[in-house]
Structure 1
């Protein structure tokens, strides 16, 4: 998902920044020591055509060297935790794009005046208001509240993911002390973590461990979210949707502008006396080539009949061509549903898994035995780990939670 790709990119950039800045510190310090040791003059060209400017506020004493690296590590650490929180909120946005099922709350009232309702130009505009309100509230919550949110809405137990809830909370509390108290500890922190230190710092070892922990944690959250959206919510939404007819359409456009309005999610039309939007009947959209897009639509007979009549009448005028490739029947839908990871397949995967640690590629061996895809088994293993049936392992090595 986009949120996870952005998080990985941010982590990589921070690592590059840390390495390159340490390199710049080392090179500058070594150069200044060399210049002073050989009593060379600043701002004058040497025999090697090299000029070094008089340093300003760049002390070469050991205390200044330690202070520079301390500040650098603290800055990067604060941004790391911020990147984690941005990922957890943006992942909710990505989930909202996939399905609206987790956000359908009977106990939550979304109040709008009649003027506001009639001012909304499309369903996309209204959905934007809903998800922005949801994410704004989540952004102002602490890590513990985010854990509760994921458990309540997506059935994801983030607290059980490596490196464990207590360590993840300590990362957040340490960030809080750095941002709001310049690293000075309070009595609550000292009591909770059994320490007498009046201030905290971020060593290179601690920073690298944090990067590894956050990378592993976010990977687990991302994989679990994909699993939940595919198995817990997508199937449910398919069951509740009234589908009398399903069509696959190939639409060839003369250019990007002609006729595209009919295929936008917020395109509005009437089916008999009911108001409908294209997003209500759109199941998927796939680009075939530069000028051709495949749309799979489904809905009631009235919706599909009304919509196909509109585009058939409009295609000549708007210069696009619509071809109905096929109509799916119920046997095809059942065949598709059988490929979804369900409790039965999950149970079979659990029985096939030997004692840990597993060898690399164990999911491929089990996939061959069960005659299913490697991805299906890999997703199943991640789900079993998330449920606590098995331990998390990396490169054949078990990851032990400190709380145990």
Structure 2
């Protein structure tokens, strides 16, 4: 996925910048040290160094201010890169599928002028996702954890290096950016830290690089799995009234009737082609098969438009349409002699207590309605007797 690749590139860039800067510091220190010790010999070979006043050579076993500041700046950038990755990953998922974002409890307010001025549904989609991401960015890492768990069904707090460590990275970044490294009581209490200031050591930054890479990689893998299963969200089984297969010759002139935002009238409603589209398959004979489905009236309206373009010679295509037979009544279990005998044999002697049909249905693995109908049939045939309030009616 693009967002994951961009994050990896950013981390690699920062890591390379950090290592190359450290190398430059070490080489400069080495050069200045030898210049100070062997000035006369180096001058003999026309080699002279003018040490800048702003550059201080580190003493043995210590870290220079330049190296310390470098690590802090790189670290701040790393945490920001992670936050960008986590929010932009949501945008990328939204681009691929809208399924996890269909929230019943969230109302989106759009002015009528904005709605009618929108060139396509993309404008509305952008408004929705930008609003979601603004809330996510301003809420901090805690809000990101909640959002991923609730919307994308991924508990990132359990992904290595786990919540406590990732939160400490964010807290440290906050102290460096907003307090210039001065610790507050909250940080000292939570992480059992006694020093008044905090910085970023070399080993700490190296761990940060490794943790962020593993963390992002695992999130990337989990999102791929969720996308494959469409985020495990069960879609309502709504059978299409009509399906259509269009075998389109790719040498045909490109027509806007196959654009996702193409709109047409079906009955007295406006229908968008994108709502009918299911999938597109490229064939080996310079053609592609487009599959669409929808209501009967939508399909008839679109196929009429399509056939008109074929007649005019604008496109070359063959169209195959299927209309399903709608059966409004749910098929009922047929009360065969075998089924009636089976139910009768499991019924106790009359009179029965209340809800006996439910107990028998559970024993036989049948629906309550089927057993109830069977009892009615057996009473009609005179095999069983009528009951009311637990008493037999003669």
Question: Whose Rg is larger?
Answer: 2
2:274 matched residue in structure 1 = 279
Deviations 1:84-136 (A, max 9, x none): 11111111111112221222222221112222221112111111111111111
Mapping of 1:86-125 within 5 angstroms?
A: 86-125=84-123
Classify 1:33/1:100 alpha carbon distance in 2 versus 1 (closer, same or farther; 3 Å): same
Q: Distance in 2 between matches of 1:215 and 1:325?
A: 50
Q: Please report how far the alpha carbon of residue 155 of structure 1 lies from its aligned counterpart in structure 2 after TM superposition.
A: 1.9
2:302 matched residue in structure 1 = 307
1:12 matched residue in structure 2 = 12
Q: Distance in 2 between matches of 1:56 and 1:249?
A: 76
Task: Please identify, of 207-216 and 166-175, the stretch whose mean Cα deviation from structure 2 is larger.
Answer: 207-216
In the alignment, is residue 60 of structure 1 matched against residue 30 of structure 2? no
1:25 matched residue in structure 2 = 25
Contact 1:3 1:87 in 2 (8 A): yes
Q: Please report how far the alpha carbon of residue 186 of structure 1 lies from its aligned counterpart in structure 2 after TM superposition.
A: 0.5
Contact 1:124 1:265 in 2 (8 A): no
Deviations 1:343-384 (A, max 9, x none): xxxxxxxxxxxxxxxxxxxxxxxxxxxxxxxxxxxxxxxxxx
Q: Distance in 2 between matches of 1:252 and 1:21?
A: 54
Task: Please identify, of 114-123 and 52-61, the stretch whose mean Cα deviation from structure 2 is larger.
Answer: 52-61
Q: Distance in 2 between matches of 1:65 and 1:143?
A: 31
Q: Over aligned residues, Cα RMSD in angstroms?
A: 3.3
Classify 1:30/1:286 alpha carbon distance in 2 versus 1 (closer, same or farther; 3 Å): farther
Contact 1:251 1:294 in 2 (8 A): no
What are structure 2's unaligned runs of at least 5 residues? 325-394
What are structure 1's unaligned runs of at least 5 residues? 330-404
Q: Distance in 1 between matches of 2:239 and 2:207?
A: 46
TM-score of the superposition, structure 2-length normalised? Answer: 0.71
2:392 matched residue in structure 1 = none
Task: Please identify, of 273-282 and 293-302, the stretch whose mean Cα deviation from structure 2 is larger.
Answer: 293-302
Classify 1:235/1:188 alpha carbon distance in 2 versus 1 (closer, same or farther; 3 Å): closer
In the alignment, is residue 298 of structure 1 matched against residue 270 of structure 2? no
Classify 1:186/1:267 alpha carbon distance in 2 versus 1 (closer, same or farther; 3 Å): same
1:152 matched residue in structure 2 = 150
Mapping of 1:309-388 within 5 angstroms?
A: 309-314=304-309, 321-322=316-317
Contact 1:253 1:319 in 2 (8 A): no
Q: Please report how far the alpha carbon of residue 17 of structure 1 lies from its aligned counterpart in structure 2 after TM superposition.
A: 1.3
Classify 1:118/1:147 alpha carbon distance in 2 versus 1 (closer, same or farther; 3 Å): same
Q: Distance in 1 between matches of 2:287 and 2:162?
A: 48
Q: Distance in 1 between matches of 2:39 and 2:311?
A: 84
1:385 matched residue in structure 2 = none
TM-score of the superposition, structure 1-length normalised? Answer: 0.70
Q: Please report how far the alpha carbon of residue 10 of structure 1 lies from its aligned counterpart in structure 2 after TM superposition.
A: 1.2
Classify 1:140/1:236 alpha carbon distance in 2 versus 1 (closer, same or farther; 3 Å): same
Task: Please identify, of 55-64 and 67-76, the stretch whose mean Cα deviation from structure 2 is larger.
Answer: 55-64
SS in 1 for 2:265: strand
1:380 matched residue in structure 2 = none
Contact 1:183 1:200 in 2 (8 A): yes
Q: Please report how far the alpha carbon of residue 8 of structure 1 lies from its aligned counterpart in structure 2 after TM superposition.
A: 1.4
SS in 1 for 2:234: helix
Deviations 1:200-246 (A, max 9, x none): 12122111211221111112222222222332547634745746315
Mapping of 1:31-70 within 5 angstroms?
A: 31-39=31-39, 47=46, 54-55=51-52, 57-62=54-59, 66-70=64-68
Contact 1:122 1:266 in 2 (8 A): yes
SS in 2 for 1:297: strand
SS in 2 for 1:143: helix
SS in 2 for 1:269: strand
Q: Does 1 or 2 have the higher relative contact order (CA < 8 Å, sep 6+)?
A: 1
Pick one of 125, 128, 132 that aligns with 2:126: 128
Q: Distance in 1 between matches of 2:117 and 2:161?
A: 47
Q: Distance in 2 between matches of 1:168 and 1:250?
A: 52
